[in-house]
Amino acid sequence: MDKKRILIIDDDELITMSLEMIISADPDFTIVGKGCSGVEAISLFEELKPDLLLMDIRMENMNGLDAADKILSTHKDAAILFLTTFSDEEYIVKALKLGVRGYLLKQDYKALPAAIHAAIDGQSVFGGAIVNKLPTLMSAKSSNSFDYKKYEITEKEFEVMQLVSDGFSNKEISQKLFLSEGTVRNYLSSMLEKLNLRDRTQLAIFYLKTQNNLN
């Protein structure tokens, strides 16, 4: 099986070396390029067409968010995973809005190989500290009601979507809505199919993107 090709962009040379060692230890990966700015990220992505771009956010000569925006504008299916020391809510929201595959903190380096595998497979990946922030971000409801009907989402499915966005488990949702867990799972599966989403994290992100703070 061909190895998955990884491009690393980080302005700290020591971190880049460490990331290269961690990633190269996985026999499924190969490092095809390295850079230290958003400008390099764009040019190297165009040149190398990696399976995944692992990129820092705060960098000189264009930050990671702007670089990701530029890349995704022409490569909508690009797999981009942010790896940063910052868990600032503004960065998280911007990353979600862009549609990147994930956002990890650098202290989560042990989870990096698994996260890269998941991101390449199309899953949404967030580190523990980031996941803990998502319910707070998702809970800021817009004053304007979300027109879920245009997506063929039923009222009950929308209630489940809201609770998913607030971080509740299937069991907790079933208790709040007086439904069986099986029914909750069915509602989730139905919404994922209607919206062409992969998992509950993407469903929560979809809900967040419909709110005014991301419009």
DSSP letters for 2-67: PPEEEEEE-S-HHHHHHHHHHHHTSTTEEEEEEESSHHHHHHHHHHH--SEEEE-SS-SSS-HHHH
pLDDT confidence of residue 141: 45
Query: For 184-195, what is the mean pLDDT?
Result: 93
Per the document, the length of the chain is 215
Q: 10-19, 22-31, 50-59, 108-117: which has the minimum mean pLDDT?
A: 108-117
Q: What is the C-alpha separation between 127 and 37, in angstroms, rounded?
A: 23
pLDDT confidence of residue 211: 62
Higher pLDDT, 103 or 143: 103
Q: What is the pTM of this model?
A: 0.67
pLDDT confidence of residue 84: 84
**38 CB-near residues (< 8 Å, 6+ apart):** 9, 55, 59, 61, 62, 63, 64, 66, 67, 70
Q: Where would I find the beta strands (DSSP E) of the chain? A: 4-9, 29-35, 52-55, 80-84, 102-105, 125-126
Which domains occur in the chain, in start order?
Answer: 4-132 (3.40.50.2300), 139-214 (1.10.10.10)
Number of other CB atoms surrounding residue 147 within 10 Å:
9
Secondary structure class of 25 (helix, strand, coil) = coil
Q: Decide if pLDDT at 126 tops 90.
A: no
User: pLDDT, tens digit, for every residue of 167-187?
Assistant: 788 999 998 888 899 999 999
